[in-house]
Amino acid sequence: MKYAVTSRGDEKSNLLRLKMIGYFDDFDMVYDESEPEIVISIGGDGTLLAAFHDYQHRLDKVTFVGIHTGHLGFYADWRPSEAEKLVFAIVEGKYDTAAYPLLKTTIKYGGNKEKVYLALNESTIKSSGGPFVVDVAINDAHFERFRGDGLCMSTPSGTTAYNKALGGALMHPSIEAMQLTEMASINNRVYRTIGSPLILPKHHSVTLKPVNDKDFQVSMDHLSILHRDVREIRYDVAQQKVMFARFRSFPFWKRVHDSFIEE
């Protein structure tokens, strides 16, 4: 089996990475950063998000697993003390896989150009500096004109991240859907928005069209890029999914409890 190990870059994570590679050297495992079949991420959820973006072109061929060298994460759920145990489980192939939905973001520009991005957590859109005003359409039917700081579209697993901070609902990753939440919408006697998170099923799409400004700061997970001359931004539940290796039972709601409730 081909594998790769990514690290957050701090001393603790780097040392654990070398230690795990040493463990794997004792078995019939091939270190291959170009075409791995399993990627072990050492650091936190942010490190695994980075690994996802590095290998998103191989989603049908790669499985991810995360070790946290800081706080427990939703994606990085193994402890450093369990590294050797994890290696044995990988070598013996004693694991199942769990598939999580992803978000597809299509950005169209003037001149009929477009770019497509995938996100594991969420995509956000904000103005490049001026007022943020966009027309929101669901399944190509106009829904509202949004005025405010911005919008966030999240995957089910990403609802525990920025979406939660915006007051969105938490969704189980087995639900193939996406959730749109508002950032400080303007609601008064003149301007109105729905003022509530929207959960949309897989067969629905959301399109955002600029009203005035055509330059937007758009993020895909931890990656934020200024896009100019934007004509339209479309969100869909992606056809692709990300695969996580599961070696033991660790229910999603248990992760939620441990991350936000348990002291």
Which residues are part of a known binding site for NAD(+)? 45-46, 121-122, 147, 149, 184
229 tagged catalytic: no
Instruction: Detail the residues annotated as belonging to a binding site.
Output: 45-46, 121-122, 147, 149, 184
Q: Residue 144 corresponds to which tokens in the numbers above?
A: 């509202």
Task: For strands 96-109 and 230-246, give the pairing.
Answer: antiparallel
Residues 198 and 206: their CA atoms lie apart, in Å, by 10
Selecting among 45, 77, 221, 236, the annotated active-site residue is: 45
Burial of 144 (0-12, 13-18, 19+ CB in 10 A): middle
Catalytic residues: 45
